[in-house]
Amino acid sequence: MSTSQGLPEQANSAPDVRGIIAKRDLVVDLIRTACVVLVVIVHVTMVGVAADDQGVRVTSPLQELPWYVAATWVGQVMPLFFVVGGFASAVGWRSTVARGAPSPARDYLATRLVRLFRPAVPLFVFLALGLGVATAAGTPPDLLAEVAFGIGSPLWFLAAYGITQCCVPLMMRLHERAPWATLGVLLLLAGAVDAVRLATGVAEVGLLNLGPVWLFAQQLGFLWADGWFARRSKALLLAVAVAAYALLVPMTSIGLWAPDMLQDLNPPMLPLAFLAIAQACLVQLVHAPLTRLMRTRAALGAVFVLGRDGMTIYLWHLPLFIALNGVALLVGVPFPTPGSGPWWASRVVALVVVLAVALGVARALRWFDRPLPRLLPSADRPSWPVVAVAAVCTIGPAFLVMQLHLSFGVAVIGAVAVPIGVWLLSRTTPARGATRI
């Protein structure tokens, strides 16, 4: 979902597109797009709406399946998401440094935070208006809170990814000086945070692992960008992946960490770091066939269509899915019993409809997905205090959703603070020594 690895938007210029593609690792785009689609699939199959004589009920058919927990060891792709993000971050950071910006760190942070949070501006406005209208219309508070909780659940990613992006300049320097020591310290910190959380029973302590766990996965992405995984033998990669999964077995069997990898997500816990190791190795094992796949028109077209709007699809798919279910209830569409054969068959239709509507929303909101233009030699990004305030304005509302869950008040805060933060980051100032004409 990061910017530097998004598929080229200038599709009307074939030579330019071919030149850009030739310099890219298209497997990164494929994985990121596949991760977004898999998240949508999980949510579409996890939420079952039953409408009968007993009223409307919401169940989770996916979680009732006997193989569900085992499937999370494969389907929990958020560690891989951050690994891929680390790859893109390393490429973006090095490109920023090579351009010779007056302050590469400020330029990088402004560029990446704007690209991450600008698509969230219309979403927070939409959520504030929708929850405000629902509250004024007298919607039962319990029902509204349950719906808002579901709609807001994906927004944790904005906070977690925003924090890791703010750390990229520092973490890249640490990576270049001592990559393995950095990984080791992050792993120890993640374990220490979990130990304190489990010993004290204070769940909020786990929020500290938004740093070590996701930064660990991001550092693996830096190694990927360096070509470290590509230089390892397949036997070694397979052995490391098997060892990482093998370590997860006792870790999740002693009662400290849940074997359900989705339960280990918020707050993030140590098992996700080992899952990131396994996933990074497995991706490299299939890198060659995935590269061949990305040379086909079908795969390249699918990744181009879905990948360029990946962030918008991710942010909007759950609100749209819940809204579509509400419309279906209002017009009297029959709902099959959740978990039944007809219900599972209907998931294919639901997935196609949600993705199609999300793509339509993404097209309508394309203006909000614009990257910042590159700096002119005479320009610079805002000062560090301004960037710090802007980072709080953008990351803060998503963090509140993660901690307090979505509500009308939190949505209003986001609808006000996120645009302010994006605006502050979008401004430029004269570079040191330059004269404004």
Examine the pLDDT at 434 and tell me if it is beyond 60: no
43: tokens are 């949510």
Q: State the pLDDT at residue 378.
A: 83
> pLDDT tens-digit profile of 337-352?
888 899 999 999 999 9
Of the listed ranges 1-15, 51-65, 178-192, 228-242, the one predicted with least confidence: 1-15
Q: Which helix (H) or strand (E) holds 51?
A: strand 48-52
Other C-beta atoms closer than 10 Å to the C-beta of 187 total 18
Tell me if 407 sits within 8 A of 148, measured CB to CB.
yes
d(CA 402, CA 405): 6
- pLDDT band for position 336 (cuts 50, 70, 90): confident
d(CA 399, CA 57): 29
Q: Residue 270, CB half-sphere, CA atoms under 13 Å: how many?
A: 24
Examine the pLDDT at 11 and tell me if it is beyond 50: no
Tell me if 49 sits within 8 A of 329, measured CB to CB.
yes
Q: Which of 321, 400, 335 is CA-nearest to residue 42?
A: 321
In the chain, what percentage of residues exceed pLDDT 70?
93
Domain residue limits at 76: 60-296+354-373+383-427
For 319-431, list the strands marked E by DSSP: 379-380, 429-430
* Domain annotation covers residue 112: yes
* Domain annotation covers residue 232: yes
Q: Residue 52, CB half-sphere, CA atoms under 13 Å: how many?
A: 9
Burial of 75 (0-12, 13-18, 19+ CB in 10 A): middle
Q: State the pLDDT at residue 5.
A: 36
Tell me if 116 sits within 8 A of 389, measured CB to CB.
no
Tell me if 124 sits within 8 A of 365, measured CB to CB.
no
The per-residue pLDDT of the chain, averaged, comes to 89
In the chain, what percentage of residues exceed pLDDT 90?
70
Q: Which of 294, 258, 262 is CA-nearest to residue 78?
A: 262
C-alpha distances in Å from residue 427, one per residue of 15, 138, 190, 379, 421 = 33, 41, 36, 10, 10
> pLDDT tens-digit profile of 384-409?
999 999 999 999 999 999 999 999 99
**Mean pLDDT in residue range 1-28:** 46
Burial of 194 (0-12, 13-18, 19+ CB in 10 A): buried
Tell me if 186 sits within 8 A of 217, measured CB to CB.
no
User: In the chain, how many domains are there?
Assistant: 1
Q: State the pLDDT at residue 48.
A: 85
* Domain annotation covers residue 236: yes
- pLDDT band for position 1 (cuts 50, 70, 90): very low
* Domain annotation covers residue 412: yes
- For β-strands 379-380 and 429-430, DSSP reports them as antiparallel
d(CA 70, CA 397): 33
- pLDDT band for position 140 (cuts 50, 70, 90): confident
- pLDDT band for position 433 (cuts 50, 70, 90): low
* Domain annotation covers residue 81: yes
> pLDDT tens-digit profile of 251-286?
999 888 999 999 999 889 999 999 999 999 999 999
Q: State the pLDDT at residue 429.
A: 87
d(CA 414, CA 411): 5
* Domain annotation covers residue 66: yes
> pLDDT tens-digit profile of 153-200?
899 999 999 999 999 999 999 999 999 999 999 999 999 999 999 899
> pLDDT tens-digit profile of 194-227?
999 989 988 889 999 999 999 999 999 999 999 9
* Domain annotation covers residue 206: yes
Q: State the pLDDT at residue 17.
A: 38
Q: State the pLDDT at residue 334.
A: 85
C-alpha distances in Å from residue 43, one per residue of 173, 187, 240, 354 = 37, 30, 30, 11
Q: State the pLDDT at residue 144.
A: 87
Q: What DSSP string runs through 156-208?
A: HHHHHHHHHHHHHHHHHHHHHH-HHHHHHHHHHHHHHHHHHHHHH--GGGGGG
Q: Residue 420, CB half-sphere, CA atoms under 13 Å: how many?
A: 16
Q: State the pLDDT at residue 376.
A: 84
* Domain annotation covers residue 280: yes
d(CA 275, CA 255): 18
Examine the pLDDT at 92 and tell me if it is beyond 60: yes
